[in-house]
């Protein structure tokens, strides 16, 4: 048994009855939708048409939202319905990043994720979903696709159907008859928060608290919009220059992972680097570390590990449930695995410190090697988490793991450069930090430019790269990241004499550069529309 939907675009009249019925059935709050209708207009008057597309959760066979959810709040039933349990949800928003169809949202009343669940409670008692019952044109057909006697099975066998974003490999189970690529492909049209027939500038769910107040579309607002759009005073068509345009849609959910995630990537890199850098120095017997370096490394690692945990919890929309990640883990999720890695890292840092204090040399040596391995895992695991966020194509870069580990080494050297002002660091140790930063910054620049200039497999990834180098983030990238965060510290290392003060300055500048880089890498892909 496998349930699915067929949307017959030959019949849909865009009446929003499905949206209204869904809201009524599930008491969906104002501003968010489980099912919605997107309007797209094509052509030039009088040769123009409007396309209606009913959008919702696709109940994918290989649902990325289920894989990434760290607490099993999302799950696939035996009948193929992707359902959810909001009593477990921690509001991490990873499912929203993983969904290529932008089908999930944060419920503003409960601060937990929500989406279409196929009206599973109705299915269980032999009823059809509310949207199917209410559709006046029978444009929404539901049922068991594996039963040859059902209407949906017959339609799928005789009609040419299409799905949204088939290349994602999620095997969606919502099929469209006479589906229009310009409407189903979000890259064909731009989003807006001010459409001809509505205003969406308030934002919804997680984004609502940061967005502007709702702007009511009245004559005072509509008139200047019309004057700007039609300066000749003649409203002859709604689509200029033969361009396809979306004229009605749901609100933009905004940036789901903001500065907290960028900050956590930085603090995690510092924590890991504070262990990796002195471990490498000792492993290769490079220079004298000074008797306090190991203690400083352990202290820095623990402090920034706690900062990482604080930022992770702060980013949750249900921080009161953060322990669910450890108590109710879903081990396919790299967010759950990350929680285990963070815990193991903290435990090993404590163990090494205890072994040092009580001079347990054998225990300290074994624990140091284990800690070094876990430090690498701590630095890299976020790359695997981002890779599970299949809705954001730019994060699927094969070099993202290398990006993370290099930043951890750079961050470790930078933080030790700063604390050198407070320690009895030898010149050999400072020289070692200098060369680590030299190599790390140079290699890091190569990785950044590889990620931006490589052949990107999708339009979404290409647009993100262009947004970074030539669009919205170009100044922040070229001035903040390249010149300030990388070229300046390299120049300081190259043309100034090695000293405690110089290394401290380089350390501060380098850490700012890493944060600017991570903030762009986290935020820019979220600017690409998914619906």
204 has pLDDT over 70? no
Q: What is the mean pLDDT of residues 437-447?
A: 95
CA-based Rg of the chain, rounded to a whole angstrom? 27
The secondary structure of residue 486, as a DSSP letter, is: I
What's 259-527's CATH class? mainly alpha
Average pLDDT, the chain: 89
The secondary structure of residue 199, as a DSSP letter, is: B
Model confidence at 236, pLDDT cuts 50, 70, 90, reads very low
The secondary structure of residue 231, as a DSSP letter, is: T
- Of all residues in the chain, the percent with pLDDT exceeding 70 is 89
Q: Which residues contact 44 (CB under 8 A, 6 or more apart)?
A: 237, 239, 241, 242
The CA distance from 417 to 506, in Å, is: 7
Sign of CA dihedral 261, 445, 375, 436: negative
508-511 contact pairs (CB < 8 A, 24+): 508/414, 508/418, 509/484, 509/485, 510/410, 510/411, 510/413, 510/414, 510/417, 510/437, 510/441, 510/485, 511/266, 511/270, 511/411, 511/414, 511/415, 511/418
Model confidence at 89, pLDDT cuts 50, 70, 90, reads very high
pLDDT at res. 140: 98
Q: Which residues contact 30 (CB under 8 A, 6 or more apart)?
A: none
User: Which one is predicted more confidently, 44 or 299?
Assistant: 299
Q: Are 277 and 436 in contact (CB under 8 A)?
A: yes
Q: What are the tens digits of pLDDT across the range 297-313?
A: 999 999 999 999 999 99
pLDDT at res. 234: 40
Model confidence at 229, pLDDT cuts 50, 70, 90, reads very low
- The domain spans of the chain are 3-188, 259-527
Q: What tokens were used for 221? A: 């607002």
Model confidence at 223, pLDDT cuts 50, 70, 90, reads very low
Model confidence at 76, pLDDT cuts 50, 70, 90, reads very high
206 has pLDDT over 50? yes
Q: What tokens were used for 360? A: 């347990």
Q: What pTM was computed for the model? A: 0.89
Q: Which residues contact 222 (CB under 8 A, 6 or more apart)?
A: none
- Of all residues in the chain, the percent with pLDDT exceeding 90 is 78
User: Which one is predicted more confidently, 75 or 223?
Assistant: 75
Residue identified by tokens 């409007």 is 50
Q: What are the tens digits of pLDDT across the range 129-146?
A: 999 999 999 999 999 999
Q: What angle do CA 131, 133, 136 make, to 5 degrees?
A: 90
User: Which one is predicted more confidently, 69 or 359?
Assistant: 69
Nearest residue to 248 via CA among 14, 529, 528, 49: 14
pLDDT at res. 426: 83
The CA distance from 62 to 69, in Å, is: 13
pLDDT at res. 343: 96
pLDDT at res. 294: 87
Beta bridge partners of 410: none
CATH number of 3-188: 3.30.70.20
232 has pLDDT over 80? no
């Amino acid at each position: 048994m496998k349930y699915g939907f067929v949307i017959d675009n030959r019949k849909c009249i865009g009446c929003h009855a499905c949206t209204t019925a869904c809201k009524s059935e599930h008491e969906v709050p104002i501003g968010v939708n489980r099912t919605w209708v997107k309007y797209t207009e094509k052509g030039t008057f009088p040769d123009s048409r409007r396309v209606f597309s009913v959008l919702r959760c696709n109940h994918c066979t290989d649902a990325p939202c289920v894989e990434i959810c760290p607490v099993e709040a999302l799950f696939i039933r035996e009948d193929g319905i992707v359902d959810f349990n909001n009593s477990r949800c921690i509001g991490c928003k990873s499912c929203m990043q993983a969904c290529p169809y932008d089908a999930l949202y944060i419920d503003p009343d409960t601060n937990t994720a929500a989406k279409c669940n196929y009206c599973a409670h109705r299915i269980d008692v032999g009823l059809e979903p509310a949207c199917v019952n209410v559709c006046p044109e029978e444009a929404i057909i539901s049922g068991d696709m594996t039963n040859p006697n059902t209407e949906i099975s017959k339609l799928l066998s005789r009609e040419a159907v299409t799905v949204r974003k088939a290349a994602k490999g999620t095997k969606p189970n919502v099929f469209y008859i006479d589906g229009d690529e310009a409407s189903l492909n979000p890259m064909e049209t731009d989003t807006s928060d001010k459409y001809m027939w509505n205003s969406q500038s308030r934002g919804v769910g997680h984004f609502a608290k940061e967005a502007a107040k709702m702007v009511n579309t009245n004559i005072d607002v509509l008139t200047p919009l019309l004057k700007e759009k039609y300066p000749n005073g003649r409203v002859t068509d709604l689509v200029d220059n033969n361009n396809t345009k979306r004229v009605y849609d749901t609100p933009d959910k905004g940036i789901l992972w903001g500065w907290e995630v960028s900050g956590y990537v930085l603090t995690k890199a510092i924590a890991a680097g504070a262990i990796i850098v002195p471990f490498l120095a000792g492993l290769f017997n490079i220079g004298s570390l000074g008797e306090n370096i190991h203690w400083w490394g352990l202290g820095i690692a623990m402090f920034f590990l706690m900062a990482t945990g604080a930022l992770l919890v702060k980013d949750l929309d249900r921080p009161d449930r953060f322990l669910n990640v450890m108590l109710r883990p879903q081990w396919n999720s790299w967010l759950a695995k990350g929680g285990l890695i963070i815990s193991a890292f903290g435990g090993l840092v404590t163990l090494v410190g205890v072994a040092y204090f009580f001079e347990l040399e054998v225990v300290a040596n074994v624990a140091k090697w284990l800690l070094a391995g876990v430090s690498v895992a701590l630095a890299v695991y976020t790359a695997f988490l981002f890779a599970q966020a299949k809705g954001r194509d730019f994060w699927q870069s094969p070099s993202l793991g290398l990006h993370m580990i290099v930043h951890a080494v750079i961050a470790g050297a930078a933080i030790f450069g700063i604390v050198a002002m407070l320690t009895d660091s030898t010149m050999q140790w400072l020289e070692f930090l200098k060369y680590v930063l030299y190599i790390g910054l140079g290699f890091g620049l190569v990785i950044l430019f590889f990620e931006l200039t490589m052949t990107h497999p999708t339009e979404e990834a290409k647009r993100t790269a262009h947004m970074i180098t030539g669009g919205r983030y170009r100044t922040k990238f070229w001035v903040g990241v390249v010149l300030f965060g990388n070229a300046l510290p390299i120049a300081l290392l190259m043309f100034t004499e090695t000293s405690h003060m110089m290394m401290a300055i380089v350390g501060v500048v380098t850490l700012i550069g890493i944060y600017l880089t991570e903030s762009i890498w986290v935020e820019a892909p979220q600017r690409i529309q998914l619906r």
